[in-house]
A and B are shown apart, each in its own frame.
Chain A
Amino acid sequence: MPVIKVNNLSKRFKMLQAVDDISFSVEEGEVFGFLGPNGAGKTTTINILCTLLAPTSGRAEIAGFDCAKQPDRVRAAIGLIFQDTTLDMGLTAYENLKFHAFLYNLDSRATEKRIDEMLEVVELKNRKHDFVKNFSGGMKRRLEIARGLLHYPRVLFLDEPTVGLDPQTRNTIWEFIDTLRRRERITVFMTTHYMEEAENCDRIAIIDRGKIIAMDTASSLKRMVHGDIVRLVTKDNRKALEEIRTAFGLAAREENGSLFIETDKAEEFIPKLIHAVSVETLTVSLQKPTLNDVFLKLTGRTIRDEAVNNHKEVIREFVRSHRRAQR
């Protein structure tokens, strides 16, 4: 039984088709990711699933409840971590959690124990009575994760959970999410535009301009592009090329003084390759396909380009409004 079921879901804002006829389902216990550039429709989809937005057409179901028709049942079954923090900076960590417990109507006596337990897991127990405004970005995120799971949800939604955090903090956040999802046996639905983060998912849906353009495991998606590519530079490339052809039946490509060989399991292939080539090898390097390559192949653009363009757009907009203000 899938815990999230989405059928032909669409959302239209005046001129913009934000979500365009998407369908997918997520199994219990799965970590499912939406990967795509900013503005692809990821947050809109999350907002529909968590009952903050009504779909224009189509149907979304969580834990058997219709997101549009039974919002309260859906809300009780999900935990959410939004892109921007939704903590109250003027309250302590404990007060934020306590507030949450009351909103979700948790039993008061059990709540105290649960709060301590969750603070312990995210390593904030010694900051229990500190004001959230004094927390670092990573600590705030950890507290939000603890809060999102406080009421024993079945699905945890994470919308760009590590945006704005440094890489090291990002990794620890993922460790916490992973520990907790095993511990609490929950399903995770996340969105991201970081490739490395999408690698944490069991399955990934690549979304662009409101449409799901591919959906599979990370390794299957990458296989769509090409295998691993080994780059080899030898003293005599012409001879090496010939030897590779006879030893493995593989056609290497020669370009700018390097040989490129496409293969499946490059880590195991490289030692055999070195052994088979009799001429002296100067350098060997390995290039693995990334999810960005997948996106590039599917759309002709890279996710990163998109981000850069967005920044340019923001700056342009800023300059424009600044000029307007001066006039």
Chain B
Amino acid sequence: MIQLRPIYVICIREFKKFFREKSRLLGTLARPVLWLFVVGNGMGALIRPQAGLSYLQFIFPGMIGMTILFASIFSSISIVWDREFGFMKEMLVAPISRLSIVIGKAVSGTLISAAQAVIILILIPFLGIDIGAMQFIWVTLIALLVSFCITSIGILIAARLTSFDGFNVIMNFLVMPMFFLSGAMYPVSSMPDALRWISHINPLTYGIDAFKHILLTKAAPPLGPEFPLPADILIVAAVSVIMLSLGALSFRQRG
């Protein structure tokens, strides 16, 4: 049972809060800039450009992925905040379905996260990557899909997290490994077997691979995309649906 007005108002609330928390926006925008120009330049001095592709250019799709990762997890963790500060009860005792709450959180988290990913694209002129209108649209669409996927994972986690104490554990043992093992900083094919295996079950890997398809058209392996684009999209979409269903289920049980 899905009710549109509650979903709409849950989204509006998230948007309002997002725009009011300036530090949150600043954080998500500063993080990729730091990685790109500090880590990227540092590592770039060691790694020679290959097939006309600099290290900075190579990690750019990964930076979009990272922005989405942090933004989506942060958005969905708002469920834990709401629970901690009591506002969740206001929603739980209202005559709306649990599913509407989950969908409201998923939709708002997806849009907020994808918007931040698109904002990151303003760095493109500084990196010497040129993209046309079609590519821009593709990146936006993929950003929406990847944001939806990570937000769904975040909702599943948030539904199972009983208090805010678990948040650090999630950041250290899930979010950071997801970032490092996603092909964002180095190609998946160059990793040792055990790590590569983990990368293959990491949905972010396929999301970033899809961005590489669109943004690194000139790249030659191993720096270019490593999986077929349709497979990337299909896997991310499938994981999204599974995660959101599981999230909705555990949210219904626990609230």
Contacts and interface: CB of A to CB of B under 8 A. Distances in A.
Central interface residue in B87, B88, B97, by most chain A CB within 10 Å: B87
Contacts of B95: 72-73, 75-76, 103-105
Nearest to B87: A88
A82 B89 contact: yes
B6 interface: yes
B85 A75 contact: no
Interface residues of B, number: 24
Interface string B81-107: 000011111111111110000000000
Contacts of B94: 75, 100, 103-104
B93 A50 contact: yes
Contacts of B17: 88, 90-91
A89 B87 CA distance: 9
Interface string B2-13: 010110110001
A57 interface: no
Interface string A41-78: 00000000011100000000000000000001101101
Interface SS of chain B: helix
A102 B86 contact: no
Contacts of A264: none
A100 B6 CA distance: 9
A88 B13 contact: yes
B16 interface: yes
A303 B197 CA distance: 61
Contacts of B90: 86-88, 99-100, 103
Given A51-B93, A104-B94, A104-B95, A99 B9 contact: yes
Given A99-B13, A102-B5, A102-B6, A86 B86 contact: yes
A160 to B, nearest CB: 13
B124 to A, nearest CB: 33
Interface residues of A, number: 26
Contacts of A102: 5-6, 8-9
A89 B85 contact: yes
B96 A103 contact: yes
Nearest to B17: A90
Contacts of A73: 95
Given A102-B6, A104-B95, A86 B13 contact: no
A78 B86 CA distance: 18
Interface in A232-281: none
Given A52-B255, A102-B5, A102-B8, A91 B13 contact: yes
A50 B93 CA distance: 7
A84 interface: yes
Contacts of A88: 13, 17, 85, 87, 90
A95 interface: yes
B56 to A, nearest CB: 37
A74 B174 CA distance: 40
A179 B183 CA distance: 64
A190 interface: no
Which of A86, A89, A104, A105 has the most B CB atoms < 10 Å from its CB? A86
Given A103-B91, A105-B5, 15 more contacts: A52-B89, A52-B92, A75-B93, A75-B94, A76-B95, A80-B89, A86-B89, A86-B90, A88-B13, A89-B85, A90-B16, A91-B13, A91-B16, A95-B16, A103-B95
13 contacts: A52-B92, A73-B95, A75-B93, A85-B86, A88-B90, A90-B17, A90-B21, A91-B13, A102-B6, A102-B9, A103-B6, A105-B5, A105-B95
Interface of B: 3, 5-6, 8-9, 13, 16-17, 20-21, 85-97, 255
Interface of A: 50-52, 72-73, 75-76, 78, 80, 82, 84-91, 95, 98-100, 102-105
